[in-house]
Amino acid sequence: MAMHEAAVVVHDLTKRFGSFVAVDRISFSIERGEVFGFLGPNGAGKSTTIRMLSGLLLPSEGTATVAGADVAREAEELRRRIGYMPQLFSLYSDLTVEENLQFYGGLYGLGPSTLSGRMAQLQELLGLGEVLGRLTSTLSTGWRQRAALACAIVHEPPVVFLDEPTSGVDQSARQQFWDLIADLAADGTTVLVTTHLMEEAERCTRLGMISRGKIIAMDSPHALMAGLDGLIFVAEVERPLEALQALAGQPWVRDSALSGSRVRVRVADGTADVEGQLRAVLDSAGIAVERVRETRPSLEDVFVALVGDAGEGEAA
């Protein structure tokens, strides 16, 4: 791979399944050592994009180059240079972690001495020592994902694709997993990771927000949040879903969305007495309001504002 070239270069990449357009002319590039996040709801086209970049699906149109290999024409070369961790757990559940590592090491043609050296490294990097001899079926989801990551990077690929690596993983294990991603990037590995969790997305160096097969925004998380117009208010209310419906039609509300059990609304800069107006609307709808406060914009607010459709707010 030429040194000057970006790790991933995607141009007008499109994937159609029959008449359904899963990925619609997306273009982006990822520099070496970046942690690039794909953020969007399920079905937005994140996995389809990753599968095209991994050589598992042929693009309908457009081109993509990963680590210098064209995804359509140089699939075998491509596969040697990438690590791929599918969304669905893909290790053998009746094999131990060590046996899975040996299997993947073998698939990438690693010899016994290279492999044992690499396994020692991975043990240290991922702290796998205590689970190495256990069947993966007996592991917690957090450990399984770590083992899967270890298998995906056993051959030291320059580019790694992680498809929803933390789905089903608890909060603290998720933090640890993102620490591992940061370590990988610090060592010069380029990481493309998909997620539908906003708080994870903040740990990426750059984000592509994806909705209905299109990239609707692309920048660093900080720049995306800073670029959002207006003010964000969060309200703790009695019946959030009904509150959301009551607020959605108000002319002074630019966007509204559910965030957990709270309602978030975005209003234009300089809107007067937001709390008063909000309480008035909800009071007349018979919904009790516990607390209203202004807050800093989150990635979720950015996403909701960009999509401009509360129906997509489930991305949180």
Partner 1 sequence: MRCPAPLRRMLAVARAEWIHNVRDRRSLAIIIALPIMLLLLYGYAIDFALDELLFAVLDEDRTEQSAELVRSMASSRYFTLVSAVGTPAEIERMIAAGRIRFGFVVPRGFGEDVSAGRAGQVQVLLDGSDSMTAGVALGYVEAIVRERQLDLIAEWAARSGVPPALIAPPIDVRTRTLYNPELKTVTFMVPGLIAVIMTMLAALLTSGCIVREREVGSFEGLAASPIAPVEIIIGKLLPYAAIAVADVILCIGVGWLVFGVYPTGSRPALLLLSGLYLVASLAIGLAISSVARTQQVATLLAFLATMLPTLLLTGFVFPLRSMPTVLQWFAQVIPATHFLKVIRGIYLKGTGLGPYTQETVALAVISLALVVLAAKSFRKSLE
Q: Residues interacting with partner 1, by CB under 8 A?
A: 51, 54-58, 76, 79-80, 82, 84, 86, 88-95, 99, 102-111, 151-152
Q: How far is the CB of 113 from partner 1 (least distance, A)?
A: 11
C-alpha distances in angstroms, 247 versus 241, 243, 274, 286, 297? Answer: 10, 6, 12, 13, 19
Residue closer to partner 1 by CB (options 89, 143) is: 89
Residue closer to partner 1 by CB (options 62, 105) is: 105
Rounded distance, CA 67 to CA 86, Å?
19
Residue closer to partner 1 by CB (options 131, 258) is: 131
Q: How far is the CB of 230 from partner 1 (least distance, A)?
A: 42
Strand positions, DSSP E, the chain: 8-17, 20-30, 35-39, 61-66, 69-70, 82-85, 159-163, 190-195, 206-211, 214-219, 231-237, 255-259, 262-267, 289-295
Q: How far is the CB of 174 from partner 1 (least distance, A)?
A: 21
Residue closer to partner 1 by CB (options 80, 293) is: 80
Q: How far is the CB of 99 from partner 1 (least distance, A)?
A: 7
Number of alpha helices (DSSP H) and beta strands (DSSP E) in the chain: 11, 14
DSSP string, 86-124: -SS--S-TTSBHHHHHHHHHHHTT--HHHHHHHHHHHHH
Contact status, residue 278 vs residue 253, Cβ threshold 8 Å: no
Beta bridge mates, 83: 160
Residue closer to partner 1 by CB (options 18, 249) is: 18
Q: Is 216 strand, coil or helix?
A: strand
Q: How far is the CB of 236 from partner 1 (least distance, A)?
A: 40
C-alpha distances in angstroms, 174 versus 153, 178, 195? Answer: 18, 6, 12
Sort strands 262-267 and 255-259 into parallel, antiparallel or unpaired.
antiparallel
Q: How far is the CB of 42 from partner 1 (least distance, A)?
A: 17
Q: How far is the CB of 54 from partner 1 (least distance, A)?
A: 5
Residue closer to partner 1 by CB (options 47, 211) is: 47
Angle at Cα 66 formed by Cα 61 and Cα 72, nearest 5°? 40
Residue closer to partner 1 by CB (options 23, 258) is: 23
